[in-house]
Homo-oligomer: A and B are copies of this chain.
């Protein structure tokens, strides 16, 4: 189905799937859900279109929230805040936006584009720029394909706004980040304005429908008395990485990011082992005892062992019993250029990236 209207049940499923793809980042999926349900209850429609529905010369603008997710929890947004940035950028280009796109899959950044689409009556493309969530603006497949982050608009909930035009996407990240911090920790952006042709080449396709499918798979497995985790891992070709109890969480907000680590003591098969997850908004690496068993750009997601629900980095806390899973990232990230942008070295880990399916074979269970 290449064009469809989002139902309330789709929204419920989508936010669960988006939180799993979000690998700990993207903010609270519950807030994201409320945003979209509110739109639907007010009679607005959220139309999702497949990438192939987009003409080569269609003007597309991704929208998102930027900042430390914990701030988004404190200042509950409606999702409409990003509309201001979108409208500003549209005025700057003097060109009508035809499609909205998510920039990442994860938390509120999966749902903000839906709210903006609903408010503006514009379809949202079933794709994104990551197939997961990442903490920095240049960490999108659009960047890998030479699409410029700027001109971009960045606004706050007070009505402050800026249009940035930088020499490269790293500079866009640098400038937007200090503005976000000065705004108070979160900002609303319209970024990577582009056209259908380059978009189709660069985007990660099907992220919205995948998120919905993940949520539905979990829901149906539970309802059918099946093991939801097995069903999930089957769907996303994922791996169980660890089971355990969180015994320590350290976090510090530095440079506009929520950085930190969680230490998990093994349970069941993993008794006697320890897993450390390091994060920067999103989970970056999982270290079991002395071995790195998963790293960016592959996805590392922490689930509540009881409910199977994904736990975002800002919700990690002492005592939670969790199941950690790993999911292979989109192939675009596994290219040399992709790894240069989001590989472990970029994040300061002096290791080579090894695809998770290979690591799993090499390391095995403890």
Contacts and interface: CB of A to CB of B under 8 A. Distances in A.
Contacts of A182: 174-175, 178
Given A158-B167, A175-B182, A178-B178, 18 more contacts: A88-B165, A92-B92, A160-B164, A160-B171, A160-B175, A161-B164, A161-B165, A161-B166, A162-B162, A162-B163, A162-B165, A163-B163, A163-B165, A174-B182, A175-B179, A178-B179, A178-B182, A179-B179
Contacts of A159: 167
A48 to B, nearest CB: 32
Nearest to A176: B162
A162 B149 CA distance: 13
Nearest to A91: B92
Nearest to A161: B165
Contacts of A233: none
A221 interface: no
A225 B182 CA distance: 55
A181 interface: yes
A90 to B, nearest CB: 14
Interface residues of A, number: 19
Interface string A277-302: 00000000000000000000000000
Contacts of A175: 160, 162, 179, 182
Nearest to A174: B182
A237 to B, nearest CB: 41
Chain B CB count within 10 A is highest, among A92, A162, A174, for: A162
20 contacts: A88-B165, A92-B92, A158-B167, A158-B171, A160-B164, A160-B166, A160-B175, A161-B164, A161-B165, A162-B163, A162-B164, A162-B165, A162-B175, A174-B182, A175-B179, A175-B182, A178-B179, A178-B181, A178-B182, A179-B179
A162 to B, nearest CB: 5
A172 to B, nearest CB: 9
Contacts of A171: 158, 160
Nearest to A172: B160
Contacts of A181: 178
